[in-house]
A = this chain, B = another copy of it.
Amino acid sequence: MKLITRDTDYALRALCFIAKNKDKVTPAPELVAKLKIPRPFLRKILQSLDKNGLLKSYKGKGGGFVMTLKPNKISILDVMRIFQGAFNLNECLLNKHLCPDIRVCILKKKIDRIEKYVVSELGSFKLAYLIE
């Protein structure tokens, strides 16, 4: 089980790099060179970050990406949610046929508590901590 997937990891690294560049526009090719992320894959990731409002993009020559928020306003969880969907360790609710069983519900409460802990820990871990 992975907690953080590859695209989230790439996204974090890209965000860190772009954040260090401050107001300077960072073009994707620079990220590819420095971070060794496969180019088309990175492009897709950057587009996602743009659509989700974490980056602002500039098209055309001299274009690229800049941060829209301060790094201390972005949490690991914010990035995870973009690439891995809403945090939901308890998928049991979906499979209706599993639910008549009480035992799963006791377990469900346990898992809910675990989930709350994880969400709170990752939600308070800001991108800024990864830069300094």
Where the two chains meet, the residues of A that have a C-beta atom closer than 8 Å to any C-beta of B are 1-4, 9, 12-13, 16, 36, 76, 84-85, 87-92, 97-98, 101, 103-104, 106-107, 110-111, 113-115, 117-118, 121-122, 125, 129-131
Partner of A103, one of B16, B84, B121: B16
User: A106 near B130 (CB under 8 angstroms)?
Assistant: yes
* Chain A contact residues, majority secondary structure: helix
Copies in the complex: 2
User: A13 near B111 (CB under 8 angstroms)?
Assistant: no
B residues less than 8 Å from A117 (CB atoms): 114, 117
B residues less than 8 Å from A1 (CB atoms): 1, 3, 84-85, 87-89
